[in-house]
Amino acid sequence: MIRKRKITFVINYFYPDLAATSQLMTELTKYLQQDFVITVIAAQPGYAGENHGSHKLFEEGSVENIKVVRIKLPEVNKNSKISRIKYISSYFLLANIALLKEKGTDVIFTISQPPVLGGLIGTIGKLLKRSRHVYSIHDFNPEQAQAVAYTNNQTVFKIAKAIDKLNCSYADQVLVVGEDMAETLRRRFEGGKVPEHTVISNWTDEEAIVPLEKNEPEIREFLEAHELQDKFIVMYSGNLGLYYDLENLIQVAKEFVDQPDIVFLFIGEGAVKQRIQTYATENKLENVKFLPYQPKEFLKYSLNAADVHLVVNQKGIKGVSVPSKIYGVMAAGKPVLGVLEEGSEVQRLIFESGAGVVIEPQNYQGVVHAIDYLKSLDRDELKAMGLRGRSYLEKNLTRDTSINKYRHVLQTVADHSQPGVTNSLEQYERVVHKNK
């Protein structure tokens, strides 16, 4: 009998955490558990303030056939750099310890969270455990932080990029979530050997999230509970984080205060939520509402409550990050107002599908005009626009398509886990020397 290969996922967020990455990785590992022996190393849930109540530094449990090692970390204040550094440092140290304690790992799977250090965990693990490493990049973190001037210390960016370049070079396979991100990876190694890489899109459960009318009982109750009946709802659903220019986009709502039938609804949590809430309060923007993350099983209703969905990125993020909320919006068959750079992955998806309109980041007057335009459309025209996104997703972006790509990549890497691992130290030393 052929032994199942063991994959250890070191992924920070995992069920029942509410982060988008948690939902993706939970689905991925559940679908792969019949093909591989899987261990997941993750933080105790707390992305959106979930209370896990555990006092153990390491707590072992399971989700179906998946072994889960949970790490207890300090609470994080996303508005405090010191708090973030303390959280990330604790995770990096404890995740490495947990990984080194795992026996018989053929493949280490890490993601680009926390920034740079997620990949470095795989680099260290591969070196010490003689395993292979698959590095899944959802965000090119150094470039992402640089785009929004997270710090003015250019030395920090240079060191971070050098470390992440090392992580990519030493990985057996790099995964990116968009064609524009693959181009960024190639630019990192321009003039040198580009690491083996594969583009695999993120996804949503297109069977759970389907187009629904607003007269569905659950949606009607949701609208009534939040006084949104008969409103034209412009919704942002997801991470209210640093990389979406939300502090400036919220100002667009001021242009619509004389149109009480237009409401801006922000659903989620994140580092800038308090700031945009304060702005709305100080400016008496009664056309702006905020709600916490909705339970996963309710997303099919909350997403369908919108008339238009905002899918946005800060200027300079093209090729650095792909907002995964686009897949849920397309699954729900809702029109998209993209605030995205030309040539970015999601801009391409919107244009190819015909599911909405796109405005360049920081063109706030353009956003105002786009909302006016979308609201002016006949109800059937607006519905048809959204359903074009659903049709495109069914043809090109299904969950099975992406998970089968993961399965193929992981099986290929795992099947080569024995030959050549004795040379991993030599390979590592060559990479270090090349990057000096």
209: CB partners within 8 A, 6+ apart: 299, 300, 303, 328, 331, 332
pTM over the 0.75 mark:
yes
Q: Which domain holds residue 328?
A: 217-396
**139 and 229 inside one domain:** no
pLDDT confidence tier of residue 95, bands split at 50, 70 and 90 = very high
Least confident of 44-53, 119-128, 207-216: 44-53
Rounded mean pLDDT of 312-323?
92
**265 and 173 inside one domain:** no
**364 and 405 inside one domain:** no
Q: What is the pLDDT of residues 129-176, one digit of tens each?
A: 999 999 999 999 888 777 766 666 778 888 999 999 999 999 999 999
Nearest to 63, CA basis, from 26, 99, 92, 28: 26
As a whole number of angstroms, the distance between CA 351 and CA 395 comes to: 15
As a whole number of angstroms, the distance between CA 184 and CA 171 comes to: 17
- 288-291: strand order across its sheet: 288-291, 262-267, 232-237, 308-312, 336-339, 356-359
Round the average pLDDT of the chain to a whole number and report it: 91
Is there a contact between 435 and 193 (Cβ–Cβ < 8 Å)? no
Q: What is the pLDDT of residues 204-248, one digit of tens each?
A: 999 999 999 999 999 999 999 999 999 999 999 999 988 899 999
As a whole number of angstroms, the distance between CA 278 and CA 34 comes to: 48
**359 and 404 inside one domain:** no
**271 and 402 inside one domain:** no
**414 and 371 inside one domain:** no
Q: What is the CATH number of the domain that holds 116?
A: 3.40.50.2000
> Is the pLDDT at 77 greater than 50, yes or no?
yes
| 239 in any annotated domain | yes
Q: How many domains does the chain contain in total?
A: 2
**198 and 225 inside one domain:** no
**250 and 169 inside one domain:** no
